[in-house]
């Protein structure tokens, strides 16, 4: 259970920042 919790926490710590960058930034490909 503790291992599962750790894996879930670490996965979230990587997924959350990536998701945040997608929803919070804009950025346009050069026209």
Instruction: Report the nearest approach of other proteins to the CB of residue 4 (Å).
Output: 15
Instruction: Report the nearest approach of other proteins to the CB of residue 3 (Å).
Output: 14
Q: Residue holding tokens 């960058």? A: 21
**Which CB atom, from 3 or from 28, has the smaller least distance to other proteins?**
28
Phi, psi values for residue 26, rounded to 5°: -115, -95
Q: Residue holding tokens 């291992």? A: 3
Instruction: Report the nearest approach of other proteins to the CB of residue 31 (Å).
Output: 7
Give residues in contact with other proteins (CB under 8 A): 9-10, 13, 16-17, 19-31
How far apart, in whole angstroms, are the C-alpha atoms of residue 27 and residue 31?
Answer: 12
């Amino acid at each position: 259970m503790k291992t599962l919790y750790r894996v879930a926490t670490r996965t979230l710590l990587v997924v959350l920042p990536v998701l945040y960058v997608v929803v919070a930034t804009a950025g346009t490909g050069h026209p």
